[in-house]
């Protein structure tokens, strides 16, 4: 299950995580964001112990997206040891997301 995170919880939930974290920067009004959401939920179950998947609503939490230069959504960022390890922008099929995650972690 993907975890919902906020500007306030980002440092603890993402930067302080001992497990890599994929952050999905999304918004309610974004069609492609809704399109990839089920794939991220499935991957969260499939890749359970390897990576955590977190969702950050950019409309409700503008500080973190601004800090990391998020300009288009969906933006997916993988954080390892408190640093950005990889970034992808735009919707893609579940298998492509999985391959990207596995090549990064």
Would you call 1 a catalytic residue per the annotation?
no
* Closest to 26 (Cα-Cα) out of 45, 47, 4: 4
User: How far apart are alpha carbons 3 and 10 in whole angstroms?
Assistant: 11
Would you call 30 a catalytic residue per the annotation?
yes
The active-site residue out of 5, 22, 23, 30 is 30
Residues 6+ apart with CB under 8 A from 47: 98, 101
* Cα 27 versus chain centre, distance: 12
The active-site residue out of 5, 21, 22, 33 is 33
Return the structure tokens found at 86.
């990889």
Return the structure tokens found at 8.
């306030």
Active site (catalytic) residues: 30, 33
């Amino acid at each position: 299950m993907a975890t919902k995170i906020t500007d306030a919880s980002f440092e603890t939930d993402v930067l302080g995580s001992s497990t890599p974290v994929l952050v999905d920067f999304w918004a309610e009004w974004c069609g492609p964001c809704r399109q990839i959401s089920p794939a991220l939920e499935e991957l969260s179950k499939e890749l359970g112990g390897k990576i955590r998947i977190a969702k950050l609503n950019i409309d409700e939490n503008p500080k973190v997206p601004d800090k990391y230069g998020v300009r288009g959504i969906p933006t997916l960022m993988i954080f390892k040891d408190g640093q950005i390890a990889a970034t992808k922008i735009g919707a893609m099929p579940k298998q492509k997301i999985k391959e990207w995650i596995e090549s990064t972690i």
